[in-house]
Amino acid sequence: MTSRERLQAAINHKPVDKLCLDFGASAVTGIAASAVHRIRMALLGASHQPVKIIEPYQMLAEVDSELKQALGIDVIGINPPNTMFGFPNEGWKPFSLSDSTQVLVPEKFNTTRDEQGNTYIYPKGDTSVPPSAKMPKGGHFFDSLNRQLPLDEQNLNLKDNLEEFQVFKKKDLDYFKQQIDDVHKNTDSGILLTLGGLAFGDIALVPAPWVKHPRGIRDVEEWYLSLAFRKDHILKIFEKQCETALKNIELAAPVIGDRIDVLFVTGTDFGAQNGLIISRETYREMFFPFQKAVNDRIHELTSWKTFCHSCGAVSELIPDFIDAGFDILNPVQCSASGMEPGRLKQEFGKDIVFWGGGVDTQNTLPFGSPEDIYREVRERIEIFSKGSGFVFNAIHNIQADVPTENILAVFKAIEDSREA
């Protein structure tokens, strides 16, 4: 099988010739820049320019074509034209990470540093406005800053939380067409596309770090409180957002056609370590109708499989995710309560694809021995691969401070499983 054929078989629950593998195709299945640099050094040597930061919010690096081939990765990701901070990935310039790794960042990746050594980054690279995110001294990624303006309870304006949701312009559609054409014609990889603007209440997006002067409900704590105390207002936001999302799907579908395999739809987290963040009833009332509307429109107009990312203990919601029309669940956080791999595969494996779950990134990967990691990866592959419907990835992104030998143990286990 080609990589594209392998991905298509896996996501359609059909037999594959060997394990299907993704690292780097999305903002939740990637690898931090320092780790990518070290993997390249270990496998390919030093004869390469510095790695590129293509997702600056989490400081994730491009997994370039040479490294993809060396690791046997089957999926290529296509992202929106602008990053989480509102600037495009272009005009590369050098930047030094906290561990002294030298990388390349986009030209509008403009930062300042305070006396304590904290690093601040700015929406659209504009340092004349307040920063939208902060990387603590010695840190490896950014956290959004609270730029919440005072709320007037009697005069909340829907438009304030909708300014970033816009109907695609021709230039947006042309961008996606060109990117997809290039990958589809020049590689045999499977393709995962992130259009943006399809997720409802994704807490990483609520602060809008790409907007210079965000208005409305933008504080994380205030947003969660609003799900309970401003329910009608949030539902109206979702209704308007859904109108734009459906319109953008209708615009994108004929331009993209059947040249992609998977569409990243949502990254909204509904689970914590030991249970749901919101009740199942609240999910069914506030999120399910809009997610179903989006999935239904995608499936009506395209052959794309829809990708749902939700961290935490979400086993209680998996039947609802399936009813909402999601084809794929990520990151499959097996360390959370009720997320035991064998149970998940047995109960839901025929109805949803598991994309992730390959190794525990909270404990085993950063703190275990290479032998622990090898054993866990082989066990997870054995469980999730039965009957197909599995794309291997770690449980969320591989972080910068994971020991190199531990990361290599993951790929050694994958390689051995493919040869078994």
Tell me if 401 sits within 8 A of 366, measured CB to CB. yes
Q: What is the pLDDT of residue 230?
A: 97
pLDDT band at 253 (very low <50, low <70, confident <90, very high): very high
pLDDT band at 145 (very low <50, low <70, confident <90, very high): very high
pLDDT in tens, 343-387: 999 999 999 999 999 999 999 999 999 999 999 999 999 999 999
The Cα–Cα gap between 207 and 249 comes to: 24
Please, are residues 359 and 380 in contact by the beta-carbon 8 Å criterion?
yes
| Residue 390, helix vs strand vs coil | strand
Q: Do residues 374 and 412 make contact, with C-beta atoms less than 8 angstroms apart?
A: yes
What values do phi and psi take at 104, rounded to 5?
A: -115, 140
Cβ proximity of 169 and 252 under 8 Å = no
Q: What is the pLDDT of residue 20?
A: 98
231 vs 225: CA distance, rounded Å: 9
pLDDT at 46 exceeding the cut of 90: no
H/E segment holding residue 367: helix 364-367
Q: Check if the beta carbon of residue 61 is closer than 8 Å to that of residue 92.
A: no
CATH 3.20.20.210, domain 3-44+63-81+149-419, yes or no: yes
Taking residue 183's Cβ as centre, other Cβ atoms within 10 Å add up to 19
pLDDT (tens digit, 9 = 90+) per residue, 98-108? 999 999 999 99
The rounded distance, in Å, linking the Cα atoms of 297 and 245 is 10
Query: Which residue in 49, 48, 127 sits closest to 85, CA to CA?
Result: 127
Q: Which residue has the tokens 């957002």?
A: 241
Q: Report the percentage of the chain scoring pLDDT > 90.
A: 99
- Dihedral sign (CA 293, 297, 300, 303): negative
- Tokens encoding 376: 């866990």
| pLDDT in the model for residue 47 | 67
Q: What's the chain's Rg over C-alpha atoms? A: 21
How far is 19 from 386, CA to CA, in rounded Å? 11
**The predicted structure's pLDDT at residue 48:** 74
Q: Which of 33-47, 121-135, 227-241 has the lowest mean pLDDT?
A: 33-47
- Residue whose token pair is 């270990």: 42
**Mean pLDDT throughout 135-149?**
97
Determine how β-strand 60-61 pairs with β-strand 53-55: antiparallel
Distance CA 149, CA 85 (A): 19
Where do the structural domains in the chain lie, given as residue ranges?
3-44+63-81+149-419
User: Tokens 């592959």 appear where?
Assistant: 381
CA-based nearest residue to 210, from 57, 62, 91, 28 = 57
- Provide mean pLDDT across the span 199-226: 97
> Do 190 and 73 form a contact (C-beta atoms < 8 A)?
no
